């Protein structure tokens, strides 16, 4: 995508001459990670609804986007949210009507977009439109992950087994290396408030001009999302996160936020330094989700497939009212739906995030 985008030249005078009509036309282009694009769209909807609560924002936003860029390049196109699915169906049709050229990369084929999602039937016409309107090019999967060709020699991942009490020397050494990467402390004791989209803010308590230091719980146990992580990456070229646990199906929400943070750092070339409780190749426990049916009752089973954590199985019970609850030997213990599609999508994201961390651990990684 980056090579293609760079090859589309825009003349210095912002115009070019067509061979047939000899008329000068403006060429504008935009390359954006799909996470960031959808945040931008949601923010435009939010701003429009503030002024026109009963108005239809999508046609206006389509016109704005078309005026800003005739070529839109999306990296990692994906659909994981029903609201995004409904917005995209309308927005893309309007953009195409406005002669906007869209080029996108994705880890999913069109037929696999939003697979298993809520009300996916409403999204199927969009998939049909993609297949009939776009040129779909399948990049042959060689089975080789080129990110893993890089050596993780940049000292960006540290780990110390908290269960080994005699390993204090390695823990102290790890802390010393983190302190060295962090460098000088910030002047003053007040926290810095980083603004994000939708009027949100992120508080940073330990920071200096180039680096912010967080505990895993601060960024992944809190209700943060892509907008918050992107704002942090724009502010700091280096982010340190310590006490990162092994991530499995028992930590779906925290793991999803962590993967989103990795994506934001990867896109912005922010150096992410991690201090974890397990080695990198054991950080993400591979799992799979499936629906099993017995006597008419459906259960969503999340089973461990790899890693060195203790074995587990999370069973989601569906009631007659259509609600889902987590079930254990002592009975119902949860109140949230572990959607089959989102669980499997996270399992897919685990594998991508792990290889990205290897690439991001190289000496050449980071903003210069």
User: pLDDT tens for residues 43-55?
Assistant: 999 999 999 999 9
Whether 221 maps to a domain, the answer reads: yes
Residues 6+ positions from 138 with CB-CB distance below 8 Å: 109
Do 22 and 91 belong together in one domain? yes
User: Is 368 contained in some domain?
Assistant: no
Whether 197 and 257 share a structural domain: yes
Residues 277 and 292 in one domain: no
Whether residue 291 sits in one domain with residue 220: no
- Say if residue 50 is in the same domain as residue 100: yes
112/232: higher pLDDT = 232
Domain that holds residue 7: 2-133
* 363 within domain boundaries: no
The count of structural domains within the chain is 3
| CATH code of 107's domain | 3.40.50
pLDDT value at residue 316: 43
Q: Tell me which H or E stretch contains 316.
A: strand 313-318
* Same-domain status, 127 and 235: no
Q: Same structural domain for residues 292 and 277? A: no
Q: What is the pLDDT of residue 308?
A: 31
pLDDT value of residue 125: 86
Is residue 347 over pLDDT 50? yes
Q: Which residues of 318-327 are buried (b: 16+ CB within 10 A; e: fewer)?
A: beeeeebbbe
Q: Is residue 139 part of a domain?
A: no
Structure confidence at residue 71 (pLDDT): 94
Q: Which of 133, 161, 193 is the last residue of a domain?
A: 133
**Does residue 13 sit within a domain?**
yes
pLDDT at 104: 93
Question: Average pLDDT of 17-22?
Answer: 48
Residue 47 and residue 81 in one domain: yes
Q: What proportion of the chain, given as a percentage, has pLDDT over 90?
A: 30
- Mean pLDDT over 167-181 rounds to 80
Question: What's the rounded mean pLDDT across residues 210-230?
Answer: 92
Decide which of 133, 165, 199 is a domain's last residue. 133
Asked whether residue 120 falls in the same domain as residue 211, the answer is no
Label residue 345 exposed, middle or buried (CB < 10 Å: 0-12, 13-18, 19+). buried
Q: How confident is the model at residue 120 (pLDDT cuts 50, 70, 90)?
A: confident
Tell me the β-bridge partners of 73.
31, 103
- The SS3 of residue 141 is coil
Q: What is the mean pLDDT of the chain?
A: 77
CA 201 to chain centre: 19
- The Cα–Cα gap between 85 and 117 comes to 9
In a domain? residue 353: no
Does residue 352 form part of some domain?
A: no
The answer to whether residue 143 sits within a structural domain is: no
Q: What is the model's pLDDT at position 212?
A: 94
Counting Cα atoms < 13 Å in the Cβ hemisphere of 320 gives: 1
What is the average pLDDT across 180-193?
79
Range of weakest confidence among 190-199, 260-269, 300-309: 300-309
Identify whether residues 93 and 154 lie together within a single domain. Answer: no
Q: Is the pLDDT of residue 318 over 60?
A: no
Which of 70, 103, 133 terminates a domain? The answer is: 133
Same-domain status, 295 and 267: no
Residues 222 and 339 in one domain: no
- CA distance readout (Å), 310 to 160, 165, 331, 337: 18, 20, 21, 23
Rounded Cα–Cα distance for residues 163 and 14 (Å): 61
């Amino acid at each position: 995508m980056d090579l293609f985008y760079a090859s589309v030249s825009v003349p210095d005078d912002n115009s070019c001459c067509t061979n047939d009509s000899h008329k000068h036309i403006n060429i504008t282009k935009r390359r954006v990670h799909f996470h960031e694009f959808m945040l931008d769209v949601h923010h435009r909807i939010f701003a429009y609804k503030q002024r026109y609560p009963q108005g239809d924002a999508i046609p206006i936003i389509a016109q704005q986007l078309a005026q800003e860029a005739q070529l839109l390049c999306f990296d990692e196109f994906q659909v994981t949210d029903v609201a995004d699915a409904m917005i995209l169906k309308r927005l893309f049709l309007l953009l195409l009507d406005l002669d906007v050229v869209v080029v996108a990369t994705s880890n999913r084929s069109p037929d696999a977009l939003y697979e298993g999602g809520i009300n996916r039937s409403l999204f199927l016409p969009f998939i049909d439109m993609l297949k009939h309107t776009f040129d779909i090019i399948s990049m042959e999967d060689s089975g080789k992950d080129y990110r893993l060709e890089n050596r993780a020699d940049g000292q960006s991942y540290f780990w110390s087994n908290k269960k080994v009490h005699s390993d204090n020397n390695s823990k102290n050494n790890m802390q010393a290396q983190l302190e060295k990467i962090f460098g000088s402390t910030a002047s003053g004791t007040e926290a810095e408030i980083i603004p994000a989209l939708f009027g949100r803010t992120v508080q940073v308590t330990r920071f200096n001009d180039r680096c912010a230091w967080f505990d895993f719980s601060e960024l992944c146990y809190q209700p943060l999302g892509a907008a918050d992580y992107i704002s942090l990456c724009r502010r700091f070229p280096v982010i340190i996160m310590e006490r990162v646990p092994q991530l499995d199906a028992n930590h779906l929400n925290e793991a999803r936020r962590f993967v989103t943070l990795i994506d934001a750092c990867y896109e912005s070339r922010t150096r992410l330094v991690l201090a974890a409780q397990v080695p990198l190749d054991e950080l993400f426990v591979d799992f799979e989700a499936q629906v099993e049916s017995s006597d008419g009752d459906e259960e969503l089973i999340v089973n461990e497939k790899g890693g060195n954590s203790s074995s587990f199985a999370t069973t989601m019970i569906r009631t007659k009212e259509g609600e889902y609850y987590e079930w254990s030997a002592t009975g119902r213990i949860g109140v949230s739906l572990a959607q089959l599609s989102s669980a499997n999508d996270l399992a897919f994201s685990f594998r991508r995030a792990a290889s990205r961390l290897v690439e991001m651990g190289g000496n050449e990684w980071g903003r210069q």
